[in-house]
A and B are shown apart, each in its own frame.
Chain A
């Protein structure tokens, strides 16, 4: 399946239903079994995929509804990471986790999730994973001489998993690295580690960098200027950045640094529960097109829709799709 110009997709997560939150917490309180929770996850993911299709997205994800948060889903799969499973009160809390020895090479088990997505949609599928820099920031390092060394080994393990995902049919992979914005001083080694992660991975790779969306609020503020020029060395195809909430001032950086990447532009504010109109979305896309050629632009929300109520999330995706249609028409496409 080919993508149209200005393809629309999600950043990753879809609205987390309240009933699923309670059931996830019930699982941690040992009130329901793992088997039951897995079945519940399957049903929720199917529903999230269906919503994306009905909203008209060109590229869909599994909505990340199996994940408690963007960190734990990976940390608990990484070999060699010790987890205190009593450290959660609410499913969304982060585990306390630490590394006390060298991380061994082993599979981390994302393939089944991706196969489930492929089996449940005929749209173009994308899988999103949290990058090594962000994971390193949430794991207590008791072994490696530096954060970069830990992140490098995490990247090696995950690189193997990405290659397996490509074998399973993954053509679009998104790496989430929001913690770059919290630790801009790490950007040089962060990009080095990102390159280790994607080395030899034959898929279209995007890196998503926002200002955080934990609890539906930003974790940091600032300007994307900190990314430059280091990010220009990243061996990725696309940058996914948030512009709807923050405004488009940083788009100038694309012109200033002659950025070679495609851009996934955030045109939906995920921290505001009012639904944008298609016209607003279209205007945001037009503004972006002043800096990026249409064939290099993807249309996305600022970040995941995890914290947005389901009806609003759906409305926002619909508006995004309709807004993209307006601009496509203007472009004669």
Chain B
């Protein structure tokens, strides 16, 4: 048996490694585990910092696929934060029992989907619903969405950070202008615009700086605000009302900007986004014994939560999946009483859990890695990585990144503020999502993979800690051209 301690915090873990070992040994003695299972058992102790997440306190996962038909290796993941003292044994037994398809534990669950890549899970539909109908959520909670963020506001609207960003861009323009290489039209793209606050501040600051320095670059700006939500684009207009002549509002798929903006290939001098990558559909893979495994998932409601939600909303338990479909389609009008619709949304989201299974990559030859990565490339990257490493593939972020680069002017650069894991080793030392932040998903982005993809595409990636807010977990990614 291998026990992995995937966090470095020392404070008040209710379930210590000693408890875990003692519990597993007892289960072995009592015949709940056989010797072969014990010998190949992997136990991961995690610490999930997000109050709302998709995990039970204890989950058991078996590896599927032809190579493991006879005796699938077993993995137990324990969220130390959720385990109350004295409850570990019962939770492990319950999780093991839930592995049987017809177990009582499973029979009571309300499933929303079959096993599938996490990026295709219904949870991302909930994430989309949140951003499309964030006003409903804000009204119900009485708080703006930014108040849910650590620090209570977006790092994208820090005045000093915006000012420094503008200064850096102005210097580039000045340099190009001096060498007669500044294009007549200066294109800038922001992807994921929120309420337009960052764009508005950026343009205000640029206008002022340009006037102070008399360079007259401002009238040549072409500022593109890109977002997949037309409603969001509409909401962003007031924030840039002083600059509307320079702004274009463009509905685009953040994972494929070049598709919409191909006419600007090699023309955009600056692309910016804040807290966008962490909100794009993602999935995870496991690297174990020199093999790659895909993590498949399916979303469900635990039986007790389904019963509670049924009672609160008046929706029969069996009808919950159908009402969820309607909710994702029409929002809280899915129920005749909008207040109950809102309550249904919030409670269902908060209670939603994910079941997982591992599938050997050789059993899924059609499963594709994101743009810029191949299985062989991944194996090369992982050659020196720790064994038994579970990490984000950051599918949506990689697609977005790879499909944004062709837009960049030869001297253009991409700047992304987000939460990044910059070294694969970090995955062995802390939980990096997915979690729930209000009605949306919070998920760290695998910067180490982004760096690998960037290098093959002709860019070096740099990550600098966001220095403008003490304690911020945000980093700023920016690209430089690779020679």
Show the binding face of A for B, using Cβ within 8 Å.
Answer: 18, 22, 25, 89-90, 94, 211-212, 214-222, 271-272
Q: A215-B458, A216-B458, A221-B183 are in contact. Are A94 and B483 (CB under 8 A)?
A: yes
The residue from A212, A216, A221 contacting B181, defined by CB atoms under 8 A apart:
A221
Residue pair A18, B374 in contact (C-beta under 8 Å): yes
Bound-complex Cα distance A127 to B376 (A): 33
Nearest CB on B from A108, distance (A)? 23
- A89 cross-chain contacts in B, Cβ below 8 A: 455
* Dominant secondary structure of chain B at its interface with chain A: mixed
The residue from A22, A25, A217 contacting B458, defined by CB atoms under 8 A apart:
A217
The residue from A25, A90, A221 contacting B409, defined by CB atoms under 8 A apart:
A221
Residue pair A221, B483 in contact (C-beta under 8 Å): no
Closest chain B residue, CB of each to CB of A217: B458
Instruction: Tell me the chain B residues, 409-461 only, with Cβ under 8 Å from chain A.
Output: 409-410, 455-458
> How does the 8 Å CB contact mask read for B354-388 relative to A, with 1 for contact and 0 for none?
00000000000000000000101000100000000
Bound-complex Cα distance A214 to B266 (A): 13
Closest chain A residue, CB of each to CB of B408: A217
Nearest CB on A from B257, distance (A)? 15
Nearest CB on B from A225, distance (A)? 10
Residue pair B456, A22 in contact (C-beta under 8 Å): no
Bound-complex Cα distance A221 to B409 (A): 8
Nearest CB on A from B130, distance (A)? 35
Judged by a CB distance under 8 angstroms, whether B482 is at the interface is yes
Residue pair B457, A219 in contact (C-beta under 8 Å): no
Residue pair A215, B482 in contact (C-beta under 8 Å): yes
- B376 cross-chain contacts in A, Cβ below 8 A: 18, 22
- A222 cross-chain contacts in B, Cβ below 8 A: 181
Residue pair A90, B266 in contact (C-beta under 8 Å): no
Nearest CB on B from A169, distance (A)? 35
The residue from A25, A94, A215, A221 contacting B266, defined by CB atoms under 8 A apart:
A221
Bound-complex Cα distance A214 to B410 (A): 11
Residue pair B374, A219 in contact (C-beta under 8 Å): no
Bound-complex Cα distance A214 to B408 (A): 14
Closest chain B residue, CB of each to CB of A25: B380
A-B contact pairs, 14 of them (CB 8 A): A211-B410, A212-B410, A217-B266, A217-B405, A217-B408, A218-B266, A218-B410, A219-B410, A220-B410, A221-B409, A222-B181, A271-B265, A271-B406, A272-B265
Closest chain B residue, CB of each to CB of A274: B262
Residue pair A214, B406 in contact (C-beta under 8 Å): no
Nearest CB on A from B85, distance (A)? 49
Show the binding face of B for A, using Cβ within 8 Å.
Answer: 181, 183, 265-266, 374, 376, 380, 405-406, 408-410, 455-458, 481-483
Nearest CB on B from A101, distance (A)? 25
Closest 10 CB pairs of A and B: A215-B458, A218-B410, A220-B410, A219-B410, A218-B266, A221-B410, A217-B458, A222-B181, A215-B457, A214-B458
Closest chain B residue, CB of each to CB of A246: B266
Nearest CB on B from A307, distance (A)? 9
Q: A214-B483, A217-B266, A217-B410 are in contact. Are A90 and B181 (CB under 8 A)?
A: no
Closest chain A residue, CB of each to CB of B483: A94
- A214 cross-chain contacts in B, Cβ below 8 A: 458, 483
Nearest CB on B from A123, distance (A)? 32
- Residue of A89, A217, A218, A219 with highest tally of chain B CB at under 10 A: A217
- B455 cross-chain contacts in A, Cβ below 8 A: 89-90
Bound-complex Cα distance A219 to B408 (A): 11
Nearest CB on A from B220, distance (A)? 15
Instruction: With A217-B406, A221-B410 given, name 8 new contacts (CB 8 A).
Output: A18-B374, A22-B380, A211-B410, A215-B458, A215-B482, A216-B458, A221-B183, A221-B266
- B266 cross-chain contacts in A, Cβ below 8 A: 217-218, 221, 271
Closest chain A residue, CB of each to CB of B183: A221
- A215 cross-chain contacts in B, Cβ below 8 A: 456-458, 482
Closest chain A residue, CB of each to CB of B456: A90
- A22 cross-chain contacts in B, Cβ below 8 A: 376, 380
- B405 cross-chain contacts in A, Cβ below 8 A: 217
Nearest CB on B from A210, distance (A)? 12
Bound-complex Cα distance A96 to B181 (A): 28
Closest chain B residue, CB of each to CB of A219: B410
Nearest CB on B from A90, distance (A)? 7
- B483 cross-chain contacts in A, Cβ below 8 A: 94, 214
- A221 cross-chain contacts in B, Cβ below 8 A: 181, 183, 266, 409-410
Closest chain B residue, CB of each to CB of A94: B483
- B183 cross-chain contacts in A, Cβ below 8 A: 221
- B481 cross-chain contacts in A, Cβ below 8 A: 219
Bound-complex Cα distance A83 to B380 (A): 25
Nearest CB on B from A148, distance (A)? 20
Closest chain B residue, CB of each to CB of A185: B179
Bound-complex Cα distance A219 to B481 (A): 9
Bound-complex Cα distance A219 to B411 (A): 8
Nearest CB on A from B260, distance (A)? 16
- B410 cross-chain contacts in A, Cβ below 8 A: 211-212, 217-221
- A219 cross-chain contacts in B, Cβ below 8 A: 410, 481
Bound-complex Cα distance A222 to B455 (A): 25
Nearest CB on B from A276, distance (A)? 15
- Residue of B181, B408, B410, B481 with highest tally of chain A CB at under 10 A: B410
Bound-complex Cα distance A187 to B183 (A): 22
Bound-complex Cα distance A107 to B405 (A): 41
Nearest CB on B from A309, distance (A)? 13
Bound-complex Cα distance A266 to B458 (A): 23
Bound-complex Cα distance A94 to B458 (A): 12
- A218 cross-chain contacts in B, Cβ below 8 A: 266, 410
Closest chain B residue, CB of each to CB of A269: B265
- A220 cross-chain contacts in B, Cβ below 8 A: 181, 410
Closest chain A residue, CB of each to CB of B383: A29
Bound-complex Cα distance A25 to B266 (A): 29
Nearest CB on A from B124, distance (A)? 28
Bound-complex Cα distance A22 to B183 (A): 38
Nearest CB on A from B394, distance (A)? 21
Bound-complex Cα distance A217 to B183 (A): 17
- A25 cross-chain contacts in B, Cβ below 8 A: 380
Closest chain B residue, CB of each to CB of A22: B376
Closest chain A residue, CB of each to CB of B409: A221
Nearest CB on B from A88, distance (A)? 12
Bound-complex Cα distance A212 to B266 (A): 12
Bound-complex Cα distance A217 to B374 (A): 21
- Residue of A89, A90, A220, A221 with highest tally of chain B CB at under 10 A: A221
